Amino acid sequence: MRKHLLPLAGALALLITPLCHADGASISIGQPGFYGRLDIGGYPPPQLIYSQPVLVQGAPYGGPPMYVYAPPKHVRHWDRYCRQYGACGMPVYFVQERWYREVYAPRYRYDGGRHRHHDDDDDD
């Protein structure tokens, strides 16, 4: 009986482990460890790692490019990591760490997590 419980216990551990890590903690823009998609509208032009967007799985995409702040390993091996960012098949510009830390994150925090586009209007 004990032999049969061991594989079952292993399978249960695999099912439960993701639930243990999903404790509601999150990392916000500007905090150490944040990597992800950035909304560039209304911010100064980003400093980019590559001048041309990177595209994995060249599916037709007619939308605007995505701006992403990612660790160097993810940038170098984008084909392995694009799924984590929901960006496979989209043109992606990678922003430089210095621009993210010195321009984007401080302004994002100052704006309270929201930014204004030049055409926003408070009269609505």
Q: What is the pLDDT of residue 53?
A: 86
- Sketch the domain layout of the chain as residue ranges: 24-110
Q: What is the pLDDT of residue 113?
A: 60
Q: What is the pLDDT of residue 54?
A: 86
Closest CA relative to residue 61, chosen from 84, 46, 82, 43? 82
Over the stretch 4-60, which tens digit does the pLDDT of each residue have? 433 433 333 333 333 233 334 577 888 888 888 898 888 888 999 989 888 887 666
Dihedral angle sign, alpha carbons of residues 103, 109, 113, 114: negative
* For the chain, counts of helices (H) and of strands (E): 5, 3
Closest CA relative to residue 42, chosen from 124, 119, 122? 119
94 forms beta bridges with 68
Over the stretch 50-88, which tens digit does the pLDDT of each residue have? 898 888 876 667 778 999 999 999 999 999 999 999 998
Q: What is the pLDDT of residue 94?
A: 97
Give the DSSP H or E segment for 66. strand 66-69
Over the stretch 98-122, which tens digit does the pLDDT of each residue have? 999 999 999 988 876 665 443 344 4
Residue whose entry in the numeric block shows the structure tokens 């984590």: 84
